[in-house]
Amino acid sequence: MRLSGITPSGHAQLGNYLGAIRRWAADGGERDLYFISDLHAMTTAHNPARLRSLAEETLAALIASGIPAERVFVQSDLTAELGALTWVLECTCTYGEAARMIQFKEKAGGQAGVRLSLLTYPVLMAADILLQGASEVPVGEDQNQHVELARALARRFNSTYGEVFTVPRAVLPLAGARVRDLADPARKMSKSTKDSAGVVFLLDEPELIRRKIRRAVTDSHSIPGYQPDERPGIANLLEILAACTGRAPGDLAGEYPTYGALKEATAEAVVETLRPVRERTTELLTDPAELARIRKEGAARAAERGEHRLSSALRLIGAG
C-alpha cells in the first residue's frame, strides 16, 4: 500500500493536478492512501485560519478529482494518535539522525527562531507512514532521506522492542506532467510561490486562467517548437496542452502557427480540464455538512487502520 501526502501550504495548482492528483485518481492502487498533511505546514510561520481553510479546500479538491473518499484523510484529525506515535519514534531516533537531515540544514541555516518542529517533522512523517502501515512511499528526491529515516526507525523499533511496523521504502511517484511557472519557466509551478502571476490554481475562474496563460513568458522566436532546454516557456505550454489533451508535445508544436494560437488552445484545454474539478470542489465547499461527513469518515478509517500498531508500540516500549 502506498501513502502520499499533499501539504496545504497554499492553494492546489495545475502542477499538483496534472503531476499528481489526476494520476492518484486514475491509476492509484485500490488500497493506496492520500492525506492532507496540514501538521507539516506548521513547521515555519503560518496563519492558523488560512491553514484550516486550505486543508478543507485541498480535501475537497482531492475528492472532486475522483479519489474515493475512503482513501483520503486529514492528518490533523489524527493528532492524538500521531502525537503519541511521534513520541515513541522520537525515543527511537537519535538527535544526530534528525540533525543530519539535509532539508533541515537547508531550511534552518542562518535563520533565527527556527521551530523545533522543523527538526522533528521527519519523525512525524515517519509516524504518518508507520501508523498506516504503508509499504511504499512515493516521493521526490528531496524527501528520500526522510523515508530512509522512517525505514531505519521501523527496523530499529522492531528489532529492539518487537515486530510492529511494516518497513517502508521510497518509490518513484507515478509519472505525471511536470508543470513550470508560466511567468518564470526556470522554476516549477508551486502553490507556495509568492507571486501568483505564473501559477494557475485549481479554483481560478476561466477568465483568470486565460489571462495568466496569455501572459506566459515565451521567447524571441515566433513559431512554436518543442525544445525544452532552449525554449522552456513554449515547451511548458506544449507540455501543459499535451497533458490536458493526451497528445505528445512534439506533435502539437507543428499545429500552431503562432504563439497566440498556442496560448489560446492551451488556455481552453486547461479551462476545460479544470472545469469539473473546480465546479465539484466549489460544490463541496458550499456543503460543509457533506464535507465534514466525508472528513470524519476518512479520519475514523485512518485511526482504525493504525490503532493496533499504536497500542502495540506503546505497550512494547513500556508506556501504560
**85: CB partners within 8 A, 6+ apart:** 127, 130, 131, 306, 309, 310, 313
CB atoms under 10 Å from CB of 66, counted, come to: 15
Catalytic residue among 191, 194, 212, 296: 191
- Phi-psi region at 158: left, alpha or beta (left = phi > 0; alpha = psi -120 to 50): alpha
Q: Give the amino acid at 130.
A: L
CB of 26 to ligand AMP, least distance (A): 14
Whole-angstrom distance, CA of residue 296 vs CA of residue 291: 9
Our answer to whether residue 188 is catalytic in this structure is: yes
Our answer to whether residue 191 is catalytic in this structure is: yes
* Among 3, 7, 122, 240, contact with ligand AMP (rule: CB under 6 A): 7
Q: Is 194 in the site for ligand AMP (CB under 6 A)?
A: no
Q: Which of 159, 138, 152, 137 is nearest to 101 (CA)?
A: 152
Q: Is 115 in the site for ligand AMP (CB under 6 A)?
A: no
Which range in 62-70, 80-88, 171-179, 274-282 contacts ligand AMP by CB under 6 A?
171-179
Backbone φ, ψ for residue 217 (5° rounding): -65, 135
Grid cell locating 166:
511494516
* Among 115, 178, 214, 247, contact with ligand AMP (rule: CB under 6 A): 178
Q: Detail the DSSP E strand segments found in 231-299.
A: none
Q: Is 179 in the site for ligand AMP (CB under 6 A)?
A: yes
Nearer to ligand AMP by Cβ, of 100 and 188: the residue is: 188
Which range in 64-72, 89-97, 173-181, 280-288 contacts ligand AMP by CB under 6 A?
173-181
DSSP assignment of 29-78, as one string?
A: -TT-EEEE-GGGGGSSS--HHHHHHHHHHHHHHHHHTT--GGGEEEGGGG
Distances from the Cα of 283 to the Cα of 17, 40, 59, 306, angstroms: 18, 27, 13, 31
Q: Is 46 in the site for ligand AMP (CB under 6 A)?
A: no
Which range in 13-21, 144-152, 258-266, 273-281 contacts ligand AMP by CB under 6 A?
13-21
Q: Is 216 in the site for ligand AMP (CB under 6 A)?
A: no
Q: Is 107 in the site for ligand AMP (CB under 6 A)?
A: no
Q: Is 228 in the site for ligand AMP (CB under 6 A)?
A: no
Contact 9, 41 (CB under 8 A): yes
* Among 11, 16, 237, 244, contact with ligand AMP (rule: CB under 6 A): 16
Whole-angstrom distance, CA of residue 5 vs CA of residue 97: 23
Q: Is 43 in the site for ligand AMP (CB under 6 A)?
A: no
**Per-residue contact flags (x/-) with ligand AMP for residues 243 to 282, judged by CB under 6 A:** ----------------------------------------
Catalytic residue among 188, 194, 212, 296: 188
Positions that interact with ligand AMP (CB under 6 A): 6-7, 15-16, 19-20, 140, 173, 176, 178-179, 188-191
Q: Would you name the residues annotated as active-site residues?
A: 107, 188, 191
